[in-house]
Structure 1
Amino acid sequence: MAFGARIHWSYKGPVRNAAHVIERKTAVQAVEEQLERDYREWRDVGVDPVRMAVLGVEEHELVWIVSWQSEEYVRTRNPEFMLVGNGPYLVDRVDGGLHQVSVVSAVSGEWEADYRARIRGLPVRTVVDDLHGQRPDGWLESQSACRSRIRSRSSGVASKTSAPPS
């Protein structure tokens, strides 16, 4: 691999054939097609729908995060035409799967743990995992023994490990 070559990752590790990784342009096209399908569905049931357009794209290790808004807002940036409550689409970078998340989940970042577990089948790291990953073997036992000695000294009870009272 040449110096500076981009490595693509999937839940199974590095993607050997980078041609199978979904690129930004393909992700945007998938969302635009979905927005058009939604527009036609609403129009076909007699509603006067608003046309939507892609507003922005953010790269994430798992997905492309594609935000969208009314076409009028994207064109003019006039807040009068801005929609609220519409969460972004997530386009899987490995298989191109299209998923929509709520705006709350998008803003809080809660979508990521759910996506890792439910869509990719990956284990989700917790605070406890982070503690185990950062501490050397036996750290917890040594902390427990140290606290036990401190409690013994502060209560005035002598133990084998505490120093004799002065």
Structure 2
Amino acid sequence: MVTYVEALALAREYLEDSDIPLEIVYEGEFSEGWYFCYQSKEYLDTGESSAKLAGNAPFIIDRTTGVLHEFGTAYSLESYLEEYVRLKLEGSSE
């Protein structure tokens, strides 16, 4: 099992791999772990629209495995979370 503190550390480590500085701007917990949304530090510091990320998909850290899963941008975060829970439940019932 992964704690929130461990999940946050994994999320920050993941964002450090980027070519540009990134910061978590929104996070939360759901039944299977924690989700994180992020934005460029430059945009957050300056508000310059040219520094704003486009297509930056949220990701989760699974509370059981500690594995990071990226989502897409076509649907709402809630839709992706619901789908993740559904697929995980289907996988555990096999």
What TM-score range do you get, normalising by the shorter chain? 0.7 to 0.9
Correspondence for 1:98 = 68
Distance 1:79 1:120 in 2: 44
Correspondence for 1:35 = 15
Correspondence for 1:84 = 54
Map Cα deviations across residues 50-97 of structure 1 (whole Å, 9 max, x no partner).
221211211111121101110123344x15232121111111012211
**Unaligned stretches of 5+ in structure 1?**
1-19, 40-48, 124-166
Correspondence for 2:4 = 24
The percentage of aligned residue pairs carrying the same residue is: 25
The alignment of Structure 1 onto Structure 2 pairs a total of residues equal to 92
Which TM-score applies when normalising by structure 1? 0.46
Correspondence for 2:86 = 116
Correspondence for 1:73 = 43
Name the larger-Rg structure: 1
Q: Name the one with the larger helix percent.
A: 1
Runs of 4+ in 1 over 6 A off after TM superposition: none
Which TM-score applies when normalising by structure 2? 0.75
Q: Name the one with the larger strand percent.
A: 2
Identify which of structures 1 and 2 has the higher relative contact order when contacts are C-alpha pairs closer than 8 Å and 6+ apart: 2
1:69 counterpart SS class:
strand
**Unaligned stretches of 5+ in structure 2?**
none
2:83 counterpart SS class:
helix
RMSD: 2.5
Determine if contact 1:51/1:71 at 8 Å carries over to the other structure.
yes
